[in-house]
Amino acid sequence: MRSIILDLETVPHPDAQKWAQPVKADSRLVDPVKIAADLKKKAAEQEDDFGLDWDLNRIAAIGFHVVGETDPEVYLCSDEFEEREHLKMLWSFYTYGRTRFITFNGHRFDLPGLIMRSLYLDVKHPELEIPAPWKTDSHVDLYQKFSVNGARDRKDVKGLKFYANRLGIPVYDDITGAEVAACVKAGEWEKVKNHCLFDLDLTRALAERLDVLPRMTVAA
């Protein structure tokens, strides 16, 4: 079976504010100054969440590694045209029953994201078995494995870099996913690419440690 390690980096859609639900001030407030301050605070908090909302974000980078066939690659999406073309490319590698995605938290983020962005960009996509990733061969979510298939509460399951560090896997990345939007805004696309490549590498290393993939052997 072909294994594809996948990682997405997302940013707020430029039109997100147009589609977002309007914020409301705390009903207990009566002072106009305090109401305005509360609305400003809630609007800022809402904008911080746009990049993770699949109705209000877009894909800035698709990290993609067909294990044993290609080197890890990152496809940058500076606009929706590039995003659409890269989604088409990604789906062209997928064949039901003969392909599996390997992700970290892809059950709740990457795979729903691929589907929703394909929907909004009118890109044909296959049906994916998302509801129970530990019961299907089409997707292995390493996050689910660290949750012991849901036995641990989500708040107790930590991030990709934590488990890499905890298992002694070197982590060289100098930015986090939360910083990707600022990098895109500043035109620092190389940082976005490197961050995504690091995530792909860590996902592969964790997949090997969890025996999802064969462990790489190093010649003496």
What are the boundaries of each domain within the chain? 2-209
* pLDDT of 66 above 90: yes
**Per-residue pLDDT, 130:** 57
Mean confidence (pLDDT) of the chain:
88
Give residue-wise pLDDT tens across range 133-173. 445 678 899 998 998 877 888 788 899 999 999 999 999 88
2-209, CATH topology level: Nucleotidyltransferase; domain 5 (3.30.420)
pLDDT confidence bin for 220, thresholds 50/70/90 = very low
Q: Which DSSP string corresponds to the chain?
A: -EEEEEEEEEEE-TTHHHHSPPP---TT---HHHHHHHHHHHHHHHHHHHTT-TTTEEEEEEEEEETTTS--EEEE-SSHHHHHHHHHHHHHT--TTTEEEEESSTTTTHHHHHHHHHHHTT--------S-GGG-SSEEEHHHHHTTTTTS-GGG---HHHHHHHTT------S-GGGHHHHHHTT-HHHHHHHHHHHHHHHHHHHHHTTSSPPP----
Q: How confident is the model at residue 132 (pLDDT cuts 50, 70, 90)?
A: low
